[in-house]
Structure 1
């Protein structure tokens, strides 16, 4: 294992096992979808688990980068087409399903492009933040309704990564922050330490499991230039869990009037246990994003992620 110029191991957890470039994507898509043969292909985004290409200016194809992502790919293909019609924001609906082949061993899929920028990159003014937050609150109210859990989500696993349990996530957040502190990226914050200590003593919030996005962080909410939310992407951790798992973005992504608007649109009481779980998960997710961003040279994402940690402990 080697160490890169940023002091990060080349075998980091987000390292790709299969990294599909533009030429590879063009060949795979053209082979399996003849109507898209010869269409222009442009890299749209990369993440821990998927490389995403825009084909023909209309179709977004997601190619898994790591084997660990494959169960999530299968859940997206099976569940998103049934889940999407009942929700007020757009979801990427897999309509073009790619099969494993000799040149790429895993399934992949394509959906129509959802316009918008990642919340982490949008730089919204205060009024836009309020609009985005209110739209997200209404979306989560619909997603967490019992109907989806009884219907499209009935076969989903229940919190397989224990993201709704602050006693599990608080130590993991502390480990991430310690890693960032050793690299000079993060300076320990007493308010964050108090929250994580509270989380380590806390029980999981009570209540039935609902359908959750499962990984709803600063990169997965898309917004327009006016702040209106346009869609929610990257559903590889789709599952059933406590609502706190998704409400973590209320604390990582918003504060003040925007957070108030989100919780008002959500319209259901959180209670102290759920709020603690959501805040702890917000710290963990933002710390993980910051680790990834700093290690891969994504300065805007790093700034947004560190700001999200501070927001998570803001009243």
Structure 2
């Protein structure tokens, strides 16, 4: 979709945007993201679905954001425009911890990724702890998926079996998943509210590299909060994960003895998420990515 088409969509909803100050980010799987300025000089974020399925969670996301805005101290988006073709909200304070360079297929960082400052870890741990310890009863009846403590392992087993019905899974990977499921010791006892896709592009920071908010809540749910740590492990390694868990624990986050080991296994199960999206979206490139990540010939 061209810039002019997005501007026209916004105008239909009463949002008049400048053509001169407009940038499109193509890195998102579900949405194109526009960065724009209106006639008053206010900055806006626009999310345009790539296909109909991209909006499959939009109603749920909106209800989740409405609850979060009343219950957390960090910033979350407040949607001013919400249609089947466009989501728009005023830009939050802060900038993404990193953005994706589509040509290089790499992060462009807004902080020192080789040595993230203490302020980043302390504030990220605090925000995550605040999110994960919210009262989950507030989210019941919203349509948000809720898998509580004892249901987490059976739910994962169900997801694994569903993927194996549609894809070939490398036997060694499958055995690892099975061993993980059997190791009850390292699983958390309690569920929490989770972002679901907490990578640096969805984490906002200020000039001191302190976290100010989270964006893109498409995958918000209640369940195993460990998934919110996996991108950090992927990027900053085990040492970085240990620092984050320490900050999280100090901020009142719920930790347990096998937490780090469990997060490592959640990361190893990441291909399940990609395969699930491939099945829902029907996208050929996502199917190919899932096949590659699952590590077995079709």
TM-score under structure 1 length normalisation: 0.64
Question: Is 1:113 aligned to residue 95 of structure 2?
Answer: no
2:50 aligns to what? Answer: 65
Flag the 1:108–1:163 CA change in 2: closer, same or farther, 3 A.
farther
Give the equivalent residue in structure 1 for 2:233: 251
Select which of 131, 134, 137 maps to 1:150: 137
Residues 195 and 220 of structure 2 are in contact (CA less than 8 Å); yes or no, is this contact kept in structure 1?
A: yes
Contact 2:126 2:248 in 1 (8 A): yes
Q: Which runs of structure 2 are paired with 1:110-149 in the superposition (5 Å)?
A: 110-114=88-92, 115-119=94-98, 120-122=107-109, 124-147=112-135, 149=136
> Are residues 137 and 193 of structure 1, via their aligned partners in 2, closer, same or farther at CA, if it must alter by over 3 Å?
farther
Distance 1:218 1:153, change over 3 A: farther
- When residues 214 and 288 of structure 1 are mapped into structure 2, their CA distance, relative to the original with a 3 A threshold, is closer
- What residue in structure 1 maps to residue 219 of structure 2? 237
CA RMSD of aligned residues (A): 3.9
1:22·1:43 contact (CA, 8 Å) conserved in 2? Answer: yes
Structure 2 residue runs of 5 or longer lacking an equivalent are 99-106, 279-284, 287-298
Asked if 1:80 is matched to 2:65, the reply is: yes
How many residue pairs align between the two structures?
251
Residue of structure 2 in register with 1:266 after alignment: 248
Contact (CA 8 Å) 2:125, 2:245: kept in 1 or not?
yes
Identify the range of structure 1 (239-248 vs 249-258) with the bigger mean alpha-carbon deviation.
Answer: 249-258
Q: Please identify, of 236-245 and 258-267, the stretch whose mean Cα deviation from structure 2 is larger.
A: 258-267
Work out the CA distance in 1 between the residues paired with 2:125 and 2:147.
Answer: 21
- Structure 1 residues 45, 70: closer, same or farther in 2, change over 3 A? same
CA contact (8 A) 1:157 1:240 kept: yes
**What secondary structure is seen at the aligned counterpart in 2 of 1:278?**
helix
Q: How has the CA–CA distance of structure 1 residues 280 and 217 changed in structure 2, closer, same or farther, with 3 Å as cutoff?
A: farther
Residue segments in structure 1 that go unaligned for 5+ positions in a row: 1-19, 100-105, 179-189, 297-315
Once the two structures are superposed, the pairs formed by residues 1-315 of structure 1 within 5 Å of their partners are 20-36=1-17, 40-56=21-37, 58-97=43-82, 99=83, 106-114=84-92, 115-119=94-98, 120-122=107-109, 124-147=112-135, 149-152=136-139, 155=142, 156-159=144-147, 198-199=179-180, 201-202=182-183, 205-224=187-206, 226-255=208-237, 258-267=240-249, 268-272=254-258, 274-285=259-270
1:264 positional shift: 2.3
User: Could you tell me which residue of structure 1 aligns to residue 290 of structure 2?
Assistant: none
- Normalised TM-score (structure 2): 0.67
Q: Secondary structure at the match of 1:87?
A: coil
CA distance, structure 2, for counterparts of residue 286 and residue 228 of structure 1 = 31
Compute the displacement of 1:235 (Å). Answer: 0.7
Change (3 A) 1:72 1:277: farther
In the alignment, the residues of structure 1 paired with residue 263 and residue 182 of structure 2 have an alpha-carbon distance, to the nearest angstrom, of 15
Secondary structure of the structure 2 residue equivalent to 1:41: strand
Higher strand share: 2
